[in-house]
């Protein structure tokens, strides 16, 4: 009987380490990125960071949603900065709940290349109108979806 217990005792630390690898930390442990549409129906690439996934597997609340208004091939491997006055470059919002969102006042985001395990990593910095700001990194699952823009 001690052998199975010993086996789990060895595996648990390994699982704990691998489950947090590359994640943006305890504050934003859920991240998903993929193609999206800009407000004028042009191509965009989005990143959503959340504290947890909902029961449907979608991001739960609160969440941070960042949109860069360029197609995927122009986003991966590049850095972007934008504010509410840069409406052609991107946009961001922090949502405490579905109907309780506020636009970010400043965003800096760096996307690395898409990895073979269908993830994309990067770094971000954002500021909210009340002055709250956060800086971190992400390791997002790439959602291979076709955005029907235009």
Q: Where are the domains of the chain?
A: 2-142
Q: Which of 112, 108, 105, 106 is nearest to 72 (CA)?
A: 112
Q: Distance (Å, rounded) from C-alpha 92 to C-alpha 133?
A: 13
Question: What pLDDT, on the 0 to 100 scale, is given for residue 125?
Answer: 92
Per-residue pLDDT of 73-100, as tens digits, reads: 899 899 999 887 777 889 999 998 888 8
Sheet with 133-142, side-by-side order of all strands = 79-82, 106-111, 119-127, 133-142, 30-37, 43-50, 63-68, 90-97, 100-103
What does the CA dihedral 132, 138, 144, 146 come to, rounded to 10 degrees?
30
Question: What pLDDT, on the 0 to 100 scale, is given for residue 7?
Answer: 35
Mean pLDDT on 120-149: 87
Residue 111's CB: how many other CB atoms inside 10 A? Answer: 23
């Amino acid at each position: 009987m001690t052998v199975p217990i010993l086996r789990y005792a060895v595996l648990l630390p390994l699982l704990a380490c691998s489950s947090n690898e590359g994640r943006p930390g305890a504050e934003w442990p859920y991240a998903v990125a993929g193609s999206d549409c800009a407000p004028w129906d042009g191509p965009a690439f989005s990143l959503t960071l959340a504290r947890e996934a909902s029961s449907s597997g979608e991001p739960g609340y609160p969440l941070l949603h960042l949109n860069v208004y360029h197609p995927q091939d122009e986003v991966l491997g590049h850095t972007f900065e934008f504010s509410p006055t840069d409406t052609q470059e991107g946009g961001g919002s922090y949502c405490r709940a579905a109907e309780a969102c506020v636009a970010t006042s400043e965003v800096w985001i760096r996307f690395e290349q898409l990895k073979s395990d269908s993830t994309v990593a990067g770094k971000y910095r954002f500021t909210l109108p009340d002055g709250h700001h956060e800086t971190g990194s992400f390791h997002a699952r790439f959602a291979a979806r076709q955005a029907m823009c235009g």
